[in-house]
Amino acid sequence: MGNPKSGRSCGFTLVEVLVASLVLILLLMVLFSTVSQTSLITRRATEKISSFQGARFAFETVTRTLSQATLNSYWDYDDPNSPVRYLRTSQLHFLVGKSGTAPFPGTPGTGEAVFFQAPGGVVGDPSLHGGMEGLLNACGYYVKYDSESVPTVFQGTVAAKYRYRLMQTIQPTESLAVYSVAGSAWVGSVGAMPLADNIIYLVVWPRKSATDDPSGQVLTADFSYDSRTGATTSPQPPTANQLPPLVQITMIAIDESSAARLCATSTPPSEISGASDGLFSKSNQTDFASDLLAFESNLSNIGVKYQVFTALVPFRESKME
């Protein structure tokens, strides 16, 4: 008689099947979690890029245009009738000051406004003066809180959209008033157009290089700058009819959802204006760094999504010692 078969059969037991199924489920859960996290990160990154795309373009425009600023300084007699000494002279002007304080347009509490001349080649009548890229224009940048213009036909039916806006002014060559008016009367908001929405603060910091001043790159006590200050005195101050060696541009933008939530009336929202209260009053490295951190913290505390853009713009034309 033959012996009966001994040992295990070739199939899987129920326990083995259950264990294998459990391992498969765990692997699928890990894979699903990884895919979900990757998708979430990608979506958030895409949304952030999209939210601040306009701000990024505006920032690049500001830094590119500002880098072309000129004063075209030259040396001339202090008095053509009774000359005694040479003075550095320029008919052009470079100005930085707080927005919303004379003579600068803009909304108070939104940082600095900057006005200068640069060879933009913008003319009012291209048929007469077109094609000359070296023609000078007066340019300016500042932040203003207001509503966008609503066409007359829609007024009363379309609600005003209040936003912080980065404004740009470009004065055509034919209208260049810096030659014909005294002081800073050429500065203003005539012809200003919004460059980007949701820009809540613009810091324009004229400063020295680290080589010139390793202690903190301090050029003026605050962020203001006037190239005509002391221009007719002797001896002239180092800033007279001179561009600063560097200008640090720092722009703070918020996303549209935060703006829609807070910017509901014609009055600037206290949450945003309060976030910068008492900040950016002294132009030195230590205070600037701490003020920027405080501003960012204040925005985070009120649930505002933001992005900070910073760049140093050098001026090769500057001969400041």
Is the residue at 15 inside a domain? no
Report the domain count for the chain: 2
Cβ atoms of 206 and 220 closer than 8 Å: yes
Whether the pLDDT of residue 65 is over 90: the answer is yes
Residue 115 domain flag: yes
Q: Which residues are CB-neighbours of 88 under 8 A, at least 6 positions away?
A: 73, 74, 75, 231, 236, 240, 241, 242
Evaluate whether residue 13 is within a structural domain: no
pTM of the model: 0.81
Confidence of residue 215 (pLDDT cuts 50, 70, 90): low
Q: Distance between CA 241 and CA 94 in Å, rounded?
A: 8
Q: Is 156 a domain residue? A: yes
Given pLDDT bands bounded at 50, 70 and 90, which one contains residue 9?
low
Q: Please determine, for residue 78, whether its predicted confidence score (pLDDT) is greater than 90.
A: no
Gap between the terminal Cα atoms of the chain = 114
- Residues 103 and 226 occupy one common structural domain: yes
Helix spans in 70-157 (H): 126-129
* Span 255-292, pLDDT tens digits: 999 999 999 898 999 999 999 999 999 888 889 999 99
Task: Specify whether 108 is located in the same domain as 219.
Answer: yes
Confidence (pLDDT) at 99: 96
Query: Does the residue 146 lie in any domain?
Result: yes
Residues 146 and 245 in one domain: yes
* Domain presence at residue 234: yes
Question: Once rounded to an integer, what is the mean pLDDT over residues 135-154?
Answer: 80
Rounded CA separation 133/219 (Å) = 32
Give the Cα separation of 147 and 315 in Å (integer): 35
pLDDT at 47 over 90: no
Surface-to-core class of residue 213, CB atoms within 10 Å of its CB (0-12 exposed, 13-18 middle, 19+ buried): middle
